[in-house]
Amino acid sequence: MDKIRITGGLPLNGEIEISGAKNAALPLMAASLLTDQPLEFDRVPDLRDVASLIEILEELGVACAYDAQKKTLKLHAARLSSCLAPYDLVRKMRASILVLGPLVARHGEAKVSLPGGCAIGTRPVDMHIDALRELGAEIELAEGYIHARAPGGLVGAEIHFPKSSVGATENIMMAATLAKGVTVLHNAAREPEIVDLGGCLVKMGAEIEGLGTDKITVRGKSFLRGTAHSVIADRIEAGTFAIAGVMTGGALLLKNAEIGHLGAMIDPFHKAGVDIAEVAGGVSVRRVKDVLRGVDIMTEPYPGFPTDLQAQMMSMLTIATGAGMVTETIFENRFMHVPELLRMGADITVHGSSALVRGVKKLKGADVMATDLRASVSLVLAGLVAEGATSVHRIYHLERGYENIVGKLKAVGAKLEKLKDDGED
């Protein structure tokens, strides 16, 4: 397993090109199962999660051709050879569940492993399953698999999601495009990645209204066609680098980033003393004064503050003046970065789903362990401003979601390198 060693204290200045969004690319790839014609995507990031989904799609019989230089991905599901997404592949990534809806819609059957380790626990998939049942699928859960059957095809229905779910909205929206009649998704999620997926489905011939609102209406079609589509910029990557820039006291231009997708950061950034603005070609970000001020944030579904930027924002608050309260409302147990930040000298007290972060003058370099994707990157950010060297171990997670993060940070002045971690299992 690899680690990243960072020497802290250098400001980041210059331009960083933001990659295509992982969370948009994954559902778009799953949409290839809905048509026997080819789909061609560009701006597909070269990430482990993308590679994992390619493996699953290939297993199902989809011809996949990824060009990591050009970031193009061609997918052609002319004929599906299997409806089974096995445990060994699905366990690597929860988003694999996104093949369920499209598969059962087009193939009439799908057998997808429950995503690893989180089936019944903190990240269930009950809303995906319940909604597919409402579309007429018969679903059995046995031996760790979801077995869905709809031999006569799915039938449109009124779906009321009990809470906002990105994945369930995407899965059911895709399934509904091939269902007979009209499906209405109430309490649908509104994330830009869903709008991107919907836009591509419309180009494929789907009839969808209400994208970006909490009520999405889909009029089912008997078939969809192929198309070409460009993946939107990754707002989480952009937000992460924005935070890195201001933590280090530098000024960054985030090329391709969309200010409209970063709306929830604007207010906390302004209160913290950070200037973030749309400029030609992207978004610029820099501190207004020498010091950052503590601010409160609470994660919420879009357009609220994204849970996927919570850990990074907490890293920023560790070095701000004064205190800030971070409240996580989307996922339980998403403070796994806290004990690691404490090892670096941060002052954080967790009370249930809130963490009180009191700023300290300096973080100190340490050996820390990455536990999930966003927790990992928050430790890299902390390392960039810490005194001395920080080694972030188990960077496997980081590589699931950040394309060439070491190269991108080095290019704007950071001192860091990826090393073999021989002391690790």
Which residue, 263 or 388, has its beta carbon nearer to ligand UD1? 263
Binding region for ligand UD1 (CB under 6 A) out of 123-131, 242-250, 265-273, 351-359: 123-131
Size of the site for ligand UD1 (CB under 6 A): 21
Q: Which of 34, 77, 125, 319 binds ligand UD1 (CB under 6 A)?
A: 125
Query: Is residue 135 part of the contact set for ligand UD1 (CB under 6 A)?
Result: no
Binding region for ligand UD1 (CB under 6 A) out of 124-132, 134-142, 197-205, 375-383: 124-132
Structure token digits, residue 185: 């998704």
Which residue, 187 or 307, has its beta carbon nearer to ligand UD1? 307
* Chain-centre distance for alpha carbon 184: 25
To the nearest whole angstrom, how small is the minimum distance from the Cβ of residue 175 to ligand UD1? 14
Query: Is residue 307 part of the contact set for ligand UD1 (CB under 6 A)?
Result: yes
118 is catalytic: yes
Query: Is residue 123 part of the contact set for ligand UD1 (CB under 6 A)?
Result: yes
Query: Is residue 331 part of the contact set for ligand UD1 (CB under 6 A)?
Result: yes
User: Is 240 exposed, middle or buried (CB count within 10 Å of its CB: 0-12, 13-18, 19+)?
Assistant: buried
Please give the backbone phi and psi of residue 67, each rounded to the nearest 5 degrees, phi first.
Answer: -110, 105
Binding region for ligand UD1 (CB under 6 A) out of 30-38, 161-169, 219-227, 388-396: 161-169
Binding region for ligand UD1 (CB under 6 A) out of 143-151, 162-170, 287-295, 343-351: 162-170
Query: Is residue 20 part of the contact set for ligand UD1 (CB under 6 A)?
Result: no
Binding region for ligand UD1 (CB under 6 A) out of 165-173, 223-231, 349-357, 363-371: 165-173
Query: Is residue 287 part of the contact set for ligand UD1 (CB under 6 A)?
Result: no
Which residue, 237 or 284, has its beta carbon nearer to ligand UD1? 237
Q: Which of 168, 211, 338, 357 binds ligand UD1 (CB under 6 A)?
A: 168
Q: Which residue is nearest to ligand UD1 (CB)?
A: 167
Query: Is residue 147 part of the contact set for ligand UD1 (CB under 6 A)?
Result: no
- Tell me the three-class secondary structure of the chain, residue by residue: CEEEEEECCCCCCEEEECCECHHHHHHHHHHHHHCCCCEEEECCCCCHHHHHHHHHHHHHCCEEEEECCCCEEEEECCCCCCCEECHHHHCCCHHHHHHHHHHHHHHCEEEEECCCCCCCCCCCCHHHHHHHHHCCCEEEEECCEEEEECCCCCECCEEECCCCCHHHHHHHHHHHCCCECEEEEECCCCCHHHHHHHHHHHHCCCEEECCCCCEEEEECCCCCCCEEEECCECHHHHHHHHHHHHHHCCEEEEECCCHHHHHHHHHHHHHHCEEEEEECCEEEEEECCCCCECCCEEECCCCCECHHHHHHHHHHHHCCECEEEEECCCCCCCCCCHHHHHHCCCEEEEECCEEEEECCCCCECCEEECCCHHHHHHHHHHHHHCECEEEEECCHHHHHHCCCHHHHHHHCCCEEEEEECCCCC
Which residue, 124 or 249, has its beta carbon nearer to ligand UD1? 124
To the nearest whole angstrom, how small is the minimum distance from the Cβ of residue 330 to ligand UD1? 5
- Supply angle C-alpha 89, 90, 95, rounded to 5: 130
Q: Which of 20, 101, 102, 167 binds ligand UD1 (CB under 6 A)?
A: 167
Query: Is residue 376 part of the contact set for ligand UD1 (CB under 6 A)?
Result: no
Query: Is residue 166 part of the contact set for ligand UD1 (CB under 6 A)?
Result: yes
To the nearest whole angstrom, how small is the minimum distance from the Cβ of residue 125 to ligand UD1? 4
Which residues neighbour 256 within 8 Å (Cβ) at sequence distance 6 or greater? Answer: 17, 18, 233, 281, 282
Query: Is residue 248 part of the contact set for ligand UD1 (CB under 6 A)?
Result: no
Which residue, 164 or 256, has its beta carbon nearer to ligand UD1? 164
Query: Is residue 163 part of the contact set for ligand UD1 (CB under 6 A)?
Result: yes
Query: Is residue 393 part of the contact set for ligand UD1 (CB under 6 A)?
Result: no
To the nearest whole angstrom, how small is the minimum distance from the Cβ of residue 403 to ligand UD1? 15
Active site residues: 118
Residues forming the site for ligand UD1 (CB under 6 A):
23, 26, 94-95, 123-128, 163, 165-168, 189, 193, 307-308, 330-331
